[in-house]
Amino acid sequence: MSSPSSRRSVIAGGAAAAAGVGFAVTGAMPSLAQGSPGNDTAKPNGKAKGQGIVPFPPLQDDPDGLLALPAGFSYAVVTRAGVSKLDEGQLTPNAHDGTAVFTTGRGRYRLIQNHELKAGSPLGVPHVAGTVYDEGAIDAGGCTVISTDSRGNNLGEFVGISGTSTNCAGGPTPWGTWLTCEETEDRAGKAWSGNGKSGTYAKNHGYVFEVFHDGRHNPKPIKAFGRYAHEALAIDRARKHVFLSEDASGPNGLFYRWTAPEGFEMGANLADRLGDTDGVLAAMQILMPDGSVLPDVAYLTSAQLGLPFPVRWKEVPDRDATTTSVRKQFADGEVTRGKKFEGVWGTDEGAYVVNSFAFSDGDLPADAVPHDGMVWFYNYKKETIQLVAYFPHQKTGASGAAARYDDLTFDGPDNVTVTPWGSLVLAEDGVGASHVLSATPYGPTQAIARNQLNDSEFTGPTFSDDGKVLFVNMQTPGLTFAITGPWEKYLG
């Protein structure tokens, strides 16, 4: 492993090789690297490259105190935890998180939505026959399936999976299902208590599950993808690889690639079609110009924006973490770690992956650089990864009501989605005010929504295929919004 001084020299040398590319970061409002990979032919607003974009209007305060939006945009509340009801009669669960939208025809959509809850939570996902993974995980996480339309009307909601834990994000599949991720490593036999109840998990947790929007159920883990604190994932267009993020610390988490067995093409019902050890699960190694492995992503900064780094993959010895957590099976410096590997979203060319922040003691190596967020793009064909957005760390004590209106710094990107026009939408989970952000290769990151109710994070941004509706959640108190307006004017 390189010494801190030699590592900085190697990285600096790589940055010099990228000089003149023209990537920029502007204070608290980072720009997505120009000519961002995967969007080389995109022309935002129908303009030629470099002509700029139409900026969103300033956010306007919401008289109802929920969601500040630009002029010309409006929202509807689709679901409200503890208020709206499921088709089975129970109340909508709490802690809305990762979400995908599926078009069902005639102007209607179905959302599959995670609920990031451990057992014993208020307003947990109710157990419904046929949907339960672990009977011991009572009032825990899972997914609901919501029927809605372009106006955000609630046309019904039912349980897609229950008896899972801490369902954070996940990813849509090319065949029209949702892969939900458990962000936990809890084992069978672990006791839990909460909300006046107690119990014991009957099964291991920390898996990926497939959820259907058409009423089918298969609450069986896809063990081939490994057992760890899963955050999100993306599947490549060839259906040969799955790219998965891990939100963990002590040590920091990893970015993984699962490779399908020879001759296997991914499709529906993966849990039934894959054996527990089928395929190869491997962790990312970012290679430096001298061939060494970058030990942590926090060694890279805005100076490396746009510079592609080669990637290798190191096979995981024990993907089910029988005795040792997956990330702890690698020595320091053997793979590339990162604090809070979070959102992942795939395109035809590659996958975006987010690191939310790393600035506190223990978040990053002592000689690395604190940051408030990083967005990466992994190129499937070239097998390279490059930094496309960087949020420099800024100390802030902003909190409380004033911050919800006055805090205009952006930090803590988390969930990410790619818009129908090729740009990014990011959900903040940082300090102070929480925003939904638009990031394009042609201009600064902009706020397109602000939480006026509290300091809760936004989660699960996802656009309908027709570009009419941006669905996004406020995790606490558990709200799903359908935001409509002239999206194409500003993003198309």
Whole-number Å distance between alpha carbons of 214 and 217: 9
Residue 18 has pLDDT above 50, yes or no: no
Across 43-62, average pLDDT:
64
Q: Which residue's structure tokens are 């979203």?
A: 345
Residue 400 has pLDDT above 60, yes or no: no
Residues 428, 413: contact at Cβ < 8 Å?
yes
- Domain definitions of the chain by residue range: 4-394+401-491
**64 CB contacts (<8 Å, ≥6 apart)?**
none
Enter the CATH code of domain 4-394+401-491.
2.120.10.30
| Per-position b or e across 97-136, b if 16+ CB within 10 A of its CB | bbbbbbeeeeeebbbbbbbbbbbbbebbbbbbeebbbbeb
Across 375-390, average pLDDT:
96
Whole-number Å distance between alpha carbons of 49 and 427: 26
Output the CA torsion sign for 218, 220, 223, 229.
Answer: positive
Across 177-183, average pLDDT:
99
CA–chain centroid gap for 432, Å, is 20
> Among residues of the chain, what percentage have pLDDT more than 90?
79
Across 413-425, average pLDDT:
95
At residue 442, the pLDDT reads: 58
**315 CB contacts (<8 Å, ≥6 apart)?**
280, 281, 282
Q: Which residue's structure tokens are 């300091």?
A: 455
**19 CB contacts (<8 Å, ≥6 apart)?**
none
Q: Give the type of residue at 348.
A: D
Residues 199, 165: contact at Cβ < 8 Å?
no
What strand order describes the sheet that includes 167-172?
Answer: 167-172, 178-182, 208-211
Across 34-63, average pLDDT:
58
Across 459-481, average pLDDT:
98
Q: Identify the band that residue 445 occupies on the pLDDT scale cut at 50, 70 and 90.
A: confident
Whole-number Å distance between alpha carbons of 224 and 247: 19
Q: Give the type of residue at 234.
A: A
Residue 49 has pLDDT above 50, yes or no: no
Residue 32 has pLDDT above 70, yes or no: no
Exposed / middle / buried, residue 395 (Cβ in 10 Å: 0-12, 13-18, 19+): exposed
Residue 27 has pLDDT above 60, yes or no: no
Across 404-432, average pLDDT:
86
Residues 259, 166: contact at Cβ < 8 Å?
no
Q: Which residue's structure tokens are 């690698």?
A: 330
**492 CB contacts (<8 Å, ≥6 apart)?**
44, 45, 46, 420, 421, 467
Q: Identify the band that residue 15 occupies on the pLDDT scale cut at 50, 70 and 90.
A: very low
Q: Identify the band that residue 386 occupies on the pLDDT scale cut at 50, 70 and 90.
A: very high
Across 426-453, average pLDDT:
88
Residues in the chain: 492
Q: Identify the band that residue 443 occupies on the pLDDT scale cut at 50, 70 and 90.
A: low
**Residue of 4 and 65 predicted with greater confidence:** 65
In the chain the first and final C-alpha atoms are separated, in Å, by 46
Q: Which residue's structure tokens are 């690297």?
A: 33
At residue 394, the pLDDT reads: 82
**Which tokens is 434 given?**
């929480």
* H helix or E strand, kind and range, residue 114: strand 108-115
pLDDT in tens, 216-231: 999 999 999 999 999 9
Phi-psi region of 404 (alpha: psi -120 to 50; beta: other; left: phi over 0): alpha
Residues 250, 235: contact at Cβ < 8 Å?
no
CB atoms within 10 A of CB 63: 7
**Which tokens is 8 given?**
């900085």
At residue 403, the pLDDT reads: 55
Whole-number Å distance between alpha carbons of 288 and 68: 43
DSSP H stretches of helix in 64-165:
none
* C-alpha torsion angle, residues 350, 330, 305, 14 (rounded to 10): -120
Whole-number Å distance between alpha carbons of 228 and 222: 12
Residue 357 has pLDDT above 90, yes or no: no
The radius of gyration computed from the CA coordinates of the chain, to the nearest angstrom, equals 21
